[in-house]
Structure 1
Amino acid sequence: MKQSIFSLLVCVVMVLGAIATACNTGPDSRKAAQDSNEVKFNKSDTANPSTATLEKDADFAVTAADGGRMEVELGQLAQRNGQRQEVKDFGRMMEKDHSAANSELKALAAQKNISLPDSLSEGMKRKYDRLRDLKGAAFDKEYIKLMVADHQEDVDAFRHYTDKGADQNLVQWAKGKLPVLETHLQHAQQVDSLLKH
């Protein structure tokens, strides 16, 4: 009985996700992924007490995927809308590095049966939309300011996860990405300093 209710819940979440994607309305993509993971890794599953831990690992993966997707899309935007070559080059680096990281995370999540967002979350869309219509120097300033703040948050989140995460494959992936994120932060700070002079 418990298994059939669980199966029904999984089906309902999948159907709602498909409907939301088809209509482009409905739940936020990040929330939909989190809800799907919550059903899969239900904390009340007494047969498998590690499911609450798996849900925390899944939450990290969802957050990392959402942020990584935004970095790629904003990197592409920087190459189109940026004025300074340093900003365009930084955007190219974001697109390349985060595309590779996103592919690795997607493959790892598939192995772990973790659902990831299939589009930008509402929060990430708002960040993207704020920059979309800016061009030239105005774009450069706002984009790099966002990249500094965003990478500071990313570095903190990845450090925290590498200390507290349970899934060793995901922890190792995060450890491997942490130096890259730290380099991105330093680079963003350097470009930010250039733009202020």
Structure 2
Amino acid sequence: MKQRCLNFIIGLPLLAGTLMPACNTASDNRRTIGAANETLFDKSDTANPSMRILEKDADFAMTAINGGIMEIQLGQLAQNNARAQSVRDFGLRMIRDHSGANNEILTLARQKNISLTTALGDDKKKKYNELRSLEGERFDKKYMSWMVTDHMKGINEFRQYVSGGADQDLVQWALAKLPVWELHLRYARQVDSLLRK
């Protein structure tokens, strides 16, 4: 079975609202967590063939947490870098809603014995750094445009998981979150549209 890095992103600093982008040890942490999860999948394959799907479910949980932590960090960034009050308000909404969602999926992941780390993935780190370098109107436009694109992508990922996920707890969680993410998308489109006038 090929080794996968299951990079779950959550931790106590997040709960305090102070999580910053991961440091240089992120790759080492992902390898360690990936090895621990790979062992879990190997044991599941041997003990119960129906548990093989756990890897797919864990991948979804990782994607959801990774996306959530990114939304929180960018929402925090918007509080400092945004010019428009509507953008700062949107960022606050992302912090609130995604913090709650991450706490919920963290609980589910723990129940499934999935190892967690606080490392932000390289692709997310790159996007965060790109937006961090912007301020004012340039930040507002880039951030809101990306929020539209990112929420469209996230909604598609959640819909795919709802239709094909095996773990019913995670499927029900994803199903409950879809209307919230769809509301975020409508909100993001409204703010983005106003910024383009």
| TM-score normalized by the length of structure 2 | 0.83
* Structure 2 CA distance for aligned equivalents of residues 175 and 28 of structure 1: 33
Mapping 1:12-51, distance limit 5 Å:
24-25=24-25, 27=27, 33-42=33-42, 45-51=45-51
Aligned to 2:45, the other structure's residue is in SS state coil
List, as ranges, runs of 4+ consecutive aligned residues in structure 1 with deviation greater than 2 Å: 23-26, 28-39, 42-47
C-alpha distance 167-130 of structure 1, shift in aligned 2 (>3 A): same
Question: Is 1:69 equivalent to 2:75 in the alignment?
Answer: no
Mapping 1:1-197, distance limit 5 Å:
24-25=24-25, 27=27, 33-42=33-42, 45-197=45-197
For structure 1, the 5+ residue unaligned runs are 1-22
* Structure 1 CA distance for aligned equivalents of residues 92 and 156 of structure 2: 23
Kindly state the Cα deviation for residue 72 of structure 1 after the two structures are TM-superposed: 0.3
Greater radius of gyration (CA): 1
Deviations along 1:120-139, whole A, 9 cap, x unmatched? 11111011000012100000
Q: Any conservation in 2 of the 1:58–1:114 contact (CA below 8 Å)?
A: yes
Amino acid at match of 1:101: A
Deviations along 1:9-31, whole A, 9 cap, x unmatched? xxxxxxxxxxxxxx833527666
Aligned to 2:27, the other structure's residue is in SS state coil
Deviations along 1:138-196, whole A, 9 cap, x unmatched? 00011011111100010000011111011111111101111000000111111110011
Deviations along 1:69-102, whole A, 9 cap, x unmatched? 0000000001111001110000000000000000
Q: Which residue of 2 aligns with 1:7?
A: none
C-alpha distance 34-68 of structure 1, shift in aligned 2 (>3 A): farther
Give the structure, 1 or 2, with the largest relative contact order (CA under 8 Å, sep 6 or more).
2
Over the matched positions of the two proteins, sequence identity in percent amounts to 57
Q: Any conservation in 2 of the 1:33–1:62 contact (CA below 8 Å)?
A: no
Amino acid at match of 2:69: R
Amino acid at match of 1:133: S
Aligned to 1:58, the other structure's residue is in SS state helix
Kindly state the Cα deviation for residue 37 of structure 1 after the two structures are TM-superposed: 2.2
Aligned to 1:50, the other structure's residue is in SS state helix
Aligned to 1:110, the other structure's residue is in SS state helix
* Structure 2 CA distance for aligned equivalents of residues 92 and 28 of structure 1: 32
* Structure 2 CA distance for aligned equivalents of residues 103 and 195 of structure 1: 32
Q: Which residue of 2 aligns with 1:10?
A: none
* Structure 1 CA distance for aligned equivalents of residues 81 and 125 of structure 2: 17
C-alpha distance 25-103 of structure 1, shift in aligned 2 (>3 A): same
Q: Which residue of 2 aligns with 1:5?
A: none
Instruction: After superposing the two structures, state which structure 1 stretch, 46-55 or 141-150, moved more.
Output: 46-55
